[in-house]
Amino acid sequence: MNDIAELKQFVEVHGRILGIPRERLRQVLRRIRHDQDGEPGSWAREWTEAGVELERRGRELEAGRHFNIARFPFVDGPARAQAQERNVASFNRWRSGQSSGIRRLDLDLPAGRVRCWAAGLDAKGGELRPVLLLSGGIVSVKEQFGPILARASRLGVAIVATEMPGVGENAQRYTADSHRMVPDLLDALGDRADVSRTYALMMSFSGHLALRAALHDKRLRGVITAGAPIREFFTDTVWRQNIPRVTVDTLAHLTGEEPATVLQHMTDWALTPQELASLEVPVAYTASGRDEIIPPGDRLLLEQQVRELRMLVHDDVHGSPSHVAESRLWSLRSALEMLGGYAPQRAALGAALSVLRTRQRAAEAFARRAAVRESSG
């Protein structure tokens, strides 16, 4: 059973990343009193019922986001299992009504079955497209990437959205060797896309997998990530003591370890300075200046060791929930810049990013002036 106060705290981040309005989040959260599986007033039941309400109105993508939160942070009983199934079914109905060509992709890999959503895998004029591989962190399912998948044809790439081992429909176990999922997945895609030009847009803990995979697989030509653990997350025993319980419990669930020992179990998963220095691919990394999960030393190590690094830093907590739109645009543009070409798409993303930042600066200036007026009044 999860701590409700902590779930409510972290779902503010997760919900904003999913694009659920803050007032809607708070409206549902007010109905939640406990985490007893499936009971009235419980986490999974209230979020599921909120999703069903939207589902009845034909708003499948929004409904799926609510089912996504209902299964948060991981499936630990029948109610969250049902929410996970509803999330996938809702997404499937949404994508069936689109003309974007998103399709299901079930891959039986050496470590277990991985289910994906993909778009743009069909060759255009006989030419296979480069791959943009998407994955979220330890609490994020692939269905959240629907809007990006729908843009595959406009971006001119093949997009494959998957999940961390143990998350959603990924049947693999999260282990020290989980980075091998990436080359195994590319092997399975070899006749449907130009996997020799693969760019991993993999967030948080899946970003750690992508960086390790890039050390060994030259088909990975760039890594774009955010809030990924690098070294000190795994090795700093003092920092370890303050990592949120929801993070520790989720890692324990995915690895099959006990919460009391899971972080110690992962100590050897740290990337070394030598490994980071040997990376031959560009890395784009979004960092949160007040990250409560990833220690600041991980960002510093990247800056010291990675030879081709672009860094975007927000004054925010893990996931930078107040900067979701900016981070998303910056990450997509970084991926296209690594690919080379794609001038119209890069220009459009750059223009949108510029407009967004102008609006943010104006809003921040207005807030500062209002604060000054209030303090002097």
The runs of H, that is alpha helices, within the chain are: 4-18, 22-29, 43-56, 60-70, 78-96, 146-149, 152-155, 181-189, 204-214, 232-235, 237-240, 245-255, 262-265, 273-277, 296-305, 324-339, 343-376
**Fold of the 101-359 domain:** Rossmann fold (3.40.50)
Distance from first CA to last CA of the chain, Å, rounded?
Answer: 48
Angle subtended by helix axes 60-70 and 43-56, to nearest 10: 170
pLDDT tens-place values along the chain, 377 residues long: 788 988 988 887 788 888 899 899 999 999 999 998 889 999 999 999 999 999 999 999 999 999 999 999 999 999 999 999 999 999 999 999 888 799 999 999 999 999 999 999 976 667 899 999 999 999 999 999 999 999 888 888 999 999 999 999 999 999 999 999 999 999 999 999 999 999 999 999 999 999 999 999 999 999 999 999 999 999 999 999 999 999 999 999 999 999 999 999 999 999 999 999 999 999 999 999 999 999 999 999 999 999 999 999 999 988 888 888 899 999 999 999 998 877 888 888 888 888 888 887 777 777 677 667 666 66
Q: Which of 309, 237, 292 is nearest to 300 (CA)?
A: 309
> What are the structural domain ranges in the chain?
4-89, 101-359
Tell me how crowded residue 227 is: count the other CB atoms within 10 A of its CB. Answer: 24
